[in-house]
Structure 1
Amino acid sequence: MPELPLLPDPGNPRLTRRISGTDQTGAAAEIAVVEERPLTIYLNRQEIVTAMTIGDYPEYLALGFLRNQGMLRADDTVTGIDYDEEIETVVVRTERETSYEEKLQKKTRTSGCAVGTVFGDMMEGLGDLVLPQAEVRTSWLYALAKEINTTPSLYLEAGAIHGTVLCQGDRPLVYMEDVGRHNAVDKIAGFLFRHGVAAEDKILYTTGRLTSEMVIKTAQMGIPVLVSRSGFTAWGVEIARQVGLTLIGRMRGQRFVCLAGEERLIRDADPASVPAESAGSRRKAAT
C-alpha cells in the first residue's frame, strides 16, 4: 500500500496544459487547463466501458468502477491488472470467469458526468444493507473541510474538476480528483478493494452533489458517513436514510446541513469559533 496520506499532484505535467486566450478586457491570458483522456476498462476478455478521465491511478479507477457496478465481488481474487498507457487501456483479470453481456445491455444513464452510468440492477442488495452506526464529530468535519479546501490540488491549479477524499476522524487519507465525481469516488473504491482497507470507521468527503448514485456507491463501499460541499437530491436522501448513512451537505465555513443520520452527529465544536472560508480555499479557483 502506498504511504498515506495520498494527495493530489498538481505539478504532474500529464494532468494539465497551459493554454493561451484573452480575458474580459481583451488582454492576453494564459491558464492551466485540465487534460482529459479516454480510458477503456476490460474485465478479463470483455470490454466494459470507456471513461473520460485525467489519467492518474487507472488501476484504482478500473477496480473501483467494476466493484461499484457489481462486476467484481468482495471475494473475487484479482490475478492481474495490466495498464497500457499507449493504447489507454486497463485490463482487470480475475480467477473467476466473468460474462456481463446481458448486464451491459441494460445500463441506465444518470445525471453524473464522465462515467455517469448506473446499471439497472445496481440497487440490488441495498435492501439488506445496514451500515455501521459510526458517530461523527463536528470538530472532525470542520478540521477536514479546512485542510481539504486548502490542500494543493488540480482544482486550485486549474478548476473544472471534482475531488473525493477518504478520511478517518479528522485526517484525510486518500485524496482523488477527476473530471467526473463518479470517477473520483471509484478511485477511492479501487483503493479500498486493492489494499483491503476497512471502511466502517471512515468518512467520505466529496465536492460533488449528493445524488442517488453517490449515496449508493458510498453505501456499497461500507462507508457510514458522506459529506459534501454541494447539495442533495431527494432520492439520495431517501436512500441514505434507508441504509443508515449519515449524510451531510452544503459544508462551507461554519455551515452545513445534515439530512440523514442526525442521531449519530456529535456537536462538539461551536460553529461561531470556526473561521469563514479564506481566499486560499477551493473558492479561489475558477470552474
Structure 2
Amino acid sequence: MVKDPTLEKNGLLLGPDPGDARLSREVGGVDQDGNAVRTRVVTEKPLTLYLNRQEIVTMMTIGDYPDLLAVGYLLNQNMLSPDDEITDIDYDDELDVVVVRTDRETDYEDKLQRKVRTSGCAQGTVFGDVMEGFGSIALDPDAVLKTSWLYALTKAINTAPSLYLEAGAIHGCVLCKGGRPLVYMEDVGRHNAVDKIAGWMFMNGVEPHDKIFYTTGRLTSEMVIKTAMMGIPILISRSGFTAWGVDLAREVGLTLIGRARGKRFVALSGEDRIVFDTDPGSVAEEDARHARKGGKQR
C-alpha cells in the first residue's frame, strides 16, 4: 500500500505517482513558432506475462504495479478464477518479465489461439471465449448511485495529481465507493489501468457489489465486459459510448453513464439505480485545466 501525504490528502488508498522518474522523461523539441521547448512524455515498455510455465502475452505499459497488472489481466481473461490461490509473483525489471504462479495446473494453449484485437489503446486484446457466461452475470440490483456522489467523484478525480496532467498521452481508471475515490491507476492503455484495479481488488479481497468504476476513456464493449466481469454494477466515463458497449450494459443491467463533465452526464443503461439528490444548478462547471482530463490527449 502506498503511504504518501498526497494520496492521503485526496483520500486515495493507491494512486498515481507523477514524480516517479521511471514513468516519464523530459525531451526537447520545437513549438509551432520554431522555439525550443522541453516537455515530459510518458514511458512505454513491454511487459511479458507468464502464468506458471506458459507465456501468455506481451503488453505495452508504463511499468508501474506489474504484479497487479498481471493478476488483473489473467482474471479478466478468465485464466484465473476467484478461488485460485496465487503462490508467488516474480517480477524481473531487467528482463521486463512477470511470472504468476498458482497451486492449480494451467494450460491455455488452445485459448491463446483465439485472440481478438480490441478498440483499446496500446493494442488491447481479449480471447475468443471471454464472452462465455457473460449473459449470466448478476450485478447487485440494490446498488445505487447518488448524483451527489457522481459530482463529488468527478471533482475529486479531476483535481487529483496524475501523470496525465504532467505528461498527457495516458488513460486513468478509478475504483470508487460512494463519493470517494479509492484506487486510481493510469496507463497508456485503459485496459491496463482496468486490469491493475482488478488485480488490486483480488489481492486485497475487496468486494465489488458496492463499488463504482470510473474511466477517462470511451465506454466500449471491452470496458463494459471487464467492469461487469469484475462484478461492479456502475460504470462512469468522461467520454462517450459505443453502440455495442450500450447493448452489453443493458444485457447485464450495468448502470452506464458517459459524458460526465461538471454538472452534465448521460445515462444509457441502468438508470433505475440513479438517485437524483442534487440540483445540477448548484454544481460548478469544470475549470479549463481540469476539463482537459479525459478529453483530447495532449
TM range (shorter): over 0.9
Which residue of structure 2 aligns with residue 138 of structure 1? Answer: 147
Q: Give the residue type in structure 2 aligned to 1:78.
A: I
1:43 paired residue number = 51
Q: Deviations over 1:16-70 (max 9, x none)?
A: 0000001111111110100001000000000000000000000000000000000
TM-score, normalised with respect to structure 2: 0.94
Provide the C-alpha distance between the structure 1 equivalents of 2:56 and 2:273, rounded to a whole number of angstroms.
Answer: 38
Change in 2 beyond 3 A, CA 1:244/1:34:
same
Q: Does 1:57 align with 2:65?
A: yes
Equivalence for 1:25 = 33
The secondary structure found in structure 1 opposite 2:18 is coil
Classify 1:93/1:103 alpha carbon distance in 2 versus 1 (closer, same or farther; 3 Å): same
Q: Which amino acid aligns with 1:68?
A: N
Contact 1:115 1:183 (8 Å CA) reproduced? no
Distance 1:216 1:106 in 2: 17
C-alpha contact 1:109 1:117 (8 A) present in aligned 2? yes
Structure 1 residues 112-121 or 14-23, which shifts more? Answer: 112-121
Q: TM-score, normalised on structure 1?
A: 0.97
Structure 1 contact 231–249 (Cα < 8 Å) conserved: yes
Map of 1:3-152 to 2, 5 A cutoff?
Answer: 4-133=12-141, 134-152=143-161
Q: CA deviation at 1:282?
A: 4.9
Equivalent residue number for residue 165 of structure 1: 174
Offset of 1:5 from its aligned partner?
Answer: 2.1
- Residue 2 of structure 1 and its aligned partner are, at CA, apart by 5.4
Look up the equivalent residue of 1:70 and give its one-letter code.
N
Q: Please, what is the CA RMSD of the aligned residues?
A: 1.2
Partner of 2:8: none
| Residue of structure 1 in register with 2:283 after alignment | 274
Indicate yes or no: 2:216 matched with 1:207. yes
Verify the 8 A CA contact 2:115 2:127 in the aligned structure 1: yes
Answering whether residue 177 of structure 2 is matched by residue 195 of structure 1, we say: no
Partner of 2:240: 231
User: What amino acid maps onto 1:151 in structure 2?
Assistant: A
Q: Is the 8 A contact 1:114 1:179 kept in 2?
A: yes
CA contact (8 A) 1:78 1:95 kept: yes
Instruction: Encode CA deviations 1:57-113: one digit per residue, 9 max, x unaligned.
Output: 000000000000000011110000001101000000000000000000011111112
Alpha-carbon distance in 1 for matches of 2:72, 2:268? 27
In structure 2, how many angstroms separate the alpha carbons of the residues matched to 1:286 and 1:214? 19
Deviation at 1:253, TM superposition (A): 1.2
| Residue identity in the other structure for 1:247 | L
In 1, Cα distance between equivalents of 2:291 and 2:156: 11
Give how far 1:279 is off: 2.9
Distance in 2 (CA, whole Å) between partners of 1:265 and 1:147 is 20
In structure 1, C-alpha distance between the alignment counterparts of 2:162 and 2:145, rounded to whole Å: 26
Amino acid at match of 2:120: G
Task: Find the aligned partners of 1:115 and 1:63 in 2 and give their Cα distance.
Answer: 18
**Superposition deviation, residue 114 in structure 1:** 2.0
Q: Residue deviations 1:101-157, cap 9 Å, x none?
A: 000001111111225111111111112111002110011011100110111100000
What are the ranges of 5 or more consecutive residues in structure 2 without an aligned counterpart? Answer: 4-11
Quote the sequence identity (%).
68
Q: Which amino acid aligns with 1:31?
A: T
Equivalent residue of 1:145, what SS?
Answer: helix
SS of aligned partner of 1:188: helix
State how far apart, in whole Å, the 2-side matches of 1:170 and 1:218 are.
18
